[in-house]
Amino acid sequence: MDIEQIKTFLSVAANGSFLEAAARLYVTQSTVSTRIQRLEAYMGVTLFVRNRAGATLTLPGRRFLRHAKTLLITLEQARHDIGLPSRYRASITLGARIALWESLLPEWLGIIRGQVADVSIRSEIGFEEDLMRGVIEGSMDIGMMYTPQHNPGLKVEHLFDETLVLLTSDPAKPWPNDDYIYVDWGPGFYAQHSNAYPNLERPPQVVNIGWLAVQLVVCNGGSCFLPIRIAAPLIKERKLFQVPGSLQFKLPAYMVSSLDSDSIILQQILDNLRSLAAIERRKSYG
d(CA 285, CA 157): 23
Q: Which domain holds residue 137?
A: 92-158+255-282
- 268 and 148 belong to one structural domain: yes
Domain end marker among 48, 82, 116 = 82
| C-alpha distances in Å from residue 95, one per residue of 38, 83, 130 | 35, 21, 9
197: left (phi over 0), alpha (psi -120 to 50) or beta: beta
Around Cβ 224, how many Cβ atoms within 10 Å? 26
Tens of pLDDT, residue by residue, the chain (286 residues): 788 999 999 999 988 999 999 998 999 999 999 999 999 999 999 999 998 888 999 999 999 998 888 888 777 777 666 666 677 778 889 999 999 999 899 999 999 999 988 888 989 999 999 899 888 877 789 999 999 988 888 999 999 999 999 999 999 999 988 999 999 999 999 999 999 999 998 899 999 999 999 999 999 999 999 999 999 999 999 999 999 889 999 999 999 998 877 788 899 999 999 999 999 998 855 4
In sequence order, the 6+-apart residues with CB closer than 8 A to the CB of 224 are 166, 167, 180, 181, 182, 183, 207, 210, 213, 214, 216, 217
- 10 and 128 belong to one structural domain: no
- 72 and 138 belong to one structural domain: no
- 245 and 263 belong to one structural domain: no
Residue 87 lies in a domain: no
CA quadruple 26, 29, 30, 32: dihedral positive or negative? positive
Contact 211, 265 (CB under 8 A): no
In total, how many domains does the chain have? Answer: 3
Residue 122: CA atoms inside 13 Å, Cβ hemisphere, count? 15
The CATH number of whichever domain residue 244 belongs to comes to 3.40.190.10
